[in-house]
A and B are shown apart, each in its own frame.
Chain A
Amino acid sequence: MNSFFKYFSDIFHGVKSLLIGMSVTGRYFFSPGQIVTQQYPENRKNLQMFERFKGEVIMLHDGNNQHRCNGCGICENNCPNGSIEVIPVKVTGEDGKPKRIIDKHIYHLGMCTFCGLCVKNCPSNALGFGQEFEHAVFDRSKLTKVLNQPGSSIIKGVE
């Protein structure tokens, strides 16, 4: 007799627990409250990333196409996997002394792990993080970028 009652109480409790679970899913189905799904390709125009978002490493340029990088190579030394190559050149400065300036600041986006050590350790705050995140390209070589813009020069007084 006891097992008889247990049989039916098990069925009752089982159905009850299922209905409790379905009441939750039903509630979200009919009144979701807040829609959390983002319609990504459609909302590209007003998609705003957070200001600290680490999309890619960029070199900060001002309006006159000038940057703050003096080619010291600290970012290259700090990079754990060799994504940064700094190629400096020696030029003669205005005072006639030889001066080291940056020729190319090469950044391999495909190797970067976004640890942030280059940006953190840059003594002249020349590097920063860009907000761009759509990095898919058809050719791997396009992931190698030159960060200093063509024709750019160093801001005076940063050296």
Chain B
Amino acid sequence: MKEIINLPVSNIEEEEYHINMGPQHPSTHGVLRLLVSLQGEIVKSLKPHCGYIHRGIEKMCEKDTYPQVIHLTDRIDYLSAHINNHAVCLLVEKALEVEVPERVKYIRTIMDELARIQSHQLWWSSFGMDLGGLTCFFYGLRDREMILDIWEETTGSRFLQSYNCPGGVMQDIHPNFQKKVHAFLKTFKKKIKDYDRILSGNVIFENRSQGVGVLSKEDAISYGVTGPSGRGSGWSCDVRKTEPYSMYGQVQFNEVLRYECDTYSRYMVRMQEMHESMNIIEQLIDNIPEGDHSAKMKAVIKLPAGEYFQRVESARGELGLYVVSDGNKTPYRMKFRTPSFSNLSVLDHISRGMKIADLVAIGASLDLVIPDIDR
């Protein structure tokens, strides 16, 4: 008892304490553990602990043939599964110098943009929910259901489609595809106005997001924060513009840039991107050319020995795919440069000095998908 009384009284105001945010925190949307050092409720520093959902996808890819790899890339970033598949297919086609039919390019681009829209819808839903607006979650998921139905009809799956294959797509589009996409565009153009009315102009939302988590353009570049998070800092980093693939070189769309560099700016970039994605789909959906849905490929796909790199713009940023082939039917090494991993690395930098409640808003604005971080 005597020892306890004689303990030196430290200055509680100066002392930091550490709390774990996650791995089961509702705002991390997955198993991400953030070790947060707090002084009062001000974040002094933050350490992400990754690896809770590490499945060793890169290693698993080494025993799979190239068509088999595709179903694993679905599971990296499940919200942009089509786009991940697209990256593998582009890389294989580039290595084998296969020219895919025009129809395939159209279908893939439309599917990519649908994936981007539904990913942003889910992000909007969870962003609203993290900041206390549960209504957003219901409205976002309600509209996302239409895209999932379109996919289910054409690809057979709602979520992890594995729709692309080297040389083309697995099946031709369903006869109802164009009609349903038109119906979706018509509905969603009305609904996205509701999104703005509920959340974008809301006073509570504005006060919690404006000026919070400022990420300067220089920092965005040096940390490699790509995608809508990087473009919210004014960095023009859209792979669809800088290195157009599939149909992106031939459609008219704007790269959305905002210069406020805060959470609100990253939010507005994604809201604008949904409009741009709908714009891209509208230009393509009526002009899908007739033809085969797949190029003729060999039964066993062997890439010539060498190194290959392909990047695509996924819903969260730049997805890079690096393959070393030794001439066999399986890759010698496959490395994914996933956008969420780089975006997570900046979280410590931009949340220092903010309140712990702001950390939820900042984390939501970076749109982290945890399997994308851990792979």
Contact = CB atoms under 8 A, between A and B. Distances in A.
Given A21-B198, A115-B71, A120 B160 contact: no
A80 B68 contact: yes
Contacts of A52: 152-156, 171, 174
A13 B201 CA distance: 10
A115 B81 CA distance: 12
Interface of B: 64, 67-68, 70-72, 135, 139, 142, 145, 152-157, 160, 162, 165, 170-171, 174, 194, 197-199, 201-204, 206
A21 B133 CA distance: 11
Contact of B72 (A25, A28, A80): A80
A20 B160 contact: no
Contacts of B153: 50, 52
Question: 8 smallest A-B Cβ distances: which pairs?
Answer: A115-B71, A14-B203, A80-B68, A54-B156, A52-B156, A115-B162, A50-B153, A17-B203
15 contacts: A17-B202, A18-B204, A21-B201, A21-B202, A25-B135, A25-B198, A50-B152, A52-B152, A53-B152, A78-B67, A114-B157, A114-B162, A115-B70, A116-B156, A117-B71
Contact of A20 (B157, B165, B201, B204): B201
B289 to A, nearest CB: 22
A47 interface: no
B168 to A, nearest CB: 11
Interface secondary structure of A, over-half rule: helix
A50 B197 contact: no
A146 B120 CA distance: 42
Interface in A112-127: 113-117, 120
Contacts of B171: 52
B203 A13 contact: yes
B156 A78 contact: no
Contacts of B197: 20-21, 23-24
Contact of A120 (B64, B152, B165, B206): B165
